Amino acid sequence: MYTIEICHLYPEILNLYGDKGNITALKKRCEWRGIDVKIHNISLEDDFNPDNYDIIFIGGGQDYEQEIVKDDLLHKKGAAIKEAIEGNKVFLAICGGYQLLGKYYKTKEGKELEFLGALDFWTNGDEKRMIGNVIIECDFLKSESFDGKIVGFENHSGKTYLGKDITPLGKVIIGYGNNGEDGYEGAVYKNVYCSYLHGSLLPKNPAFTDFLLEKALNNKYKDFGTLPNLDDSFEMAARNSVINRLITSNKINKLRKIF
Ligand code: GLN
């Protein structure tokens, strides 16, 4: 019997736009395959040992919610998080949780807030919020049967810029992405997957959910291999409806600009 331990960091604080739905997607896609799942909610002042977990999730939050968790993240849990990242532990970080793993957050007034510095990127606050539905294309998810496109929703004022030791999660097809400038969204370093995509992200993107689960299960069980297929017709119908709607409205908007 395979088991998987999932840590949800600051669940009652960093849960913008129902990011907890990512935990639900991970949990259900394991249970539907007979894999035993335990969820561990770890928040402020809680002891945190990443060795006890196979996947660690941190969700999004408003600026003030990031401020609430920042000291605990940096000074109580930070060293263990950095060590776990370098040890190839699987992380999923969304939006505010994504930003907190970077070097710093510079407010639009120019004040530089130290963040964890676990990954080579930084974020600059901006007057303009980047809001809307998003489609990105992830090369690492492409297969003979899947085009690598994932969908979500973004709402952030922070513009994130990637350094040299890190790669984007995907190429922006529709939306702003990391900064609305370089055409990329999210970040990947070792087994850390970061994205601005809320929605929540995983329920409508089963290929990404299974990708993360297989990474974690192969970390834990050397002979694990791949997950058996599930009937993803509902999830893919939801995903494809978003893609078709966005592509169509994008074409209409382009035509309106011409005529
Ligand atoms: N507070 C951060 C920003 O506005 C992150 C927001 C979020 O998690 N959606 O950029």
Q: pLDDT tens digits, residue range 218-244? A: 999 998 999 999 999 999 999 999 999
User: Could you tell which of 94, 108, 155 is best to mutate to test the pocket of ligand 1, judged by most ligand atoms within 8 Å of the CB?
Assistant: 155
Q: Which of 95, 138, 156, 194 is catalytic?
A: 95
Give the closest residue (by CA) to ligand 1 atom 5.
96
Instruction: Please count the structural domains in the chain.
Output: 1
Place of tokens 């049967």: 145
Encoded tokens for 251: 């074409």
* Distance from residue 53's CA to the centre of ligand 1 (Å): 26
Q: Is position 256 within any domain?
A: no
* Distance from residue 214's CA to the centre of ligand 1 (Å): 29
Is the CB of 66 inside a 6 Å radius of any atom of ligand 1? yes
Q: Is position 78 within any domain?
A: yes
Question: Residue 252 above 90 pLDDT?
Answer: no
pLDDT, tens digit, 9 for 90 and up, residues 84-113 = 999 999 999 999 999 999 999 999 899 999
Q: How far is CA 78 from the centre of its chain?
A: 18
Is residue 47 within 8 A of residue 35, CB to CB? The reply is no
Q: Is position 225 within any domain?
A: yes
Is the CB of 96 inside a 6 Å radius of any atom of ligand 1? yes
User: Could you tell which of 63, 73, 107, 127 is best to mutate to test the pocket of ligand 1, judged by most ligand atoms within 8 Å of the CB?
Assistant: 63
3-state secondary structure 119-138: CCEEEEEEEEEEEEEEEEEC
**Which value, in Å, is the radius of gyration of the alpha carbons in the chain?**
18
Q: What burial class does residue 45 get, using C-beta atoms within 10 Å of its C-beta: 0-12 exposed, 13-18 middle, 19+ buried? A: exposed
Nearest of 64, 163, 60 to residue 117 by alpha carbon:
163
Is residue 185 within 8 A of residue 162, CB to CB? The reply is no
Q: Is position 52 within any domain?
A: yes
Q: Which residue range(s) make up the domain with 198?
A: 3-229
pLDDT, tens digit, 9 for 90 and up, residues 128-156 = 999 999 999 999 999 999 999 999 999 99
Is the CB of 60 inside a 6 Å radius of any atom of ligand 1? yes
Q: How confident is the model at residue 50 (pLDDT cuts 50, 70, 90)?
A: very high
Q: Is position 245 within any domain?
A: no
Q: Is position 249 within any domain?
A: no
Is residue 246 within 8 A of residue 239, CB to CB? The reply is no
d(CA 66, CA 84) in angstroms, rounded, equals 21
Query: Which atom in ligand 1 lies closest to the alpha carbon of residue 63?
Result: 1
CATH code at position 191: 3.40.50.880
Is residue 155 within 8 A of residue 180, CB to CB? The reply is no
Q: Is position 141 within any domain?
A: yes
- Per DSSP, the residues of 10-53 read STTTS-GGGTTHHHHHHHHHHHTTT-EEEEEEE-TT----GGG-
Q: Is position 41 within any domain?
A: yes
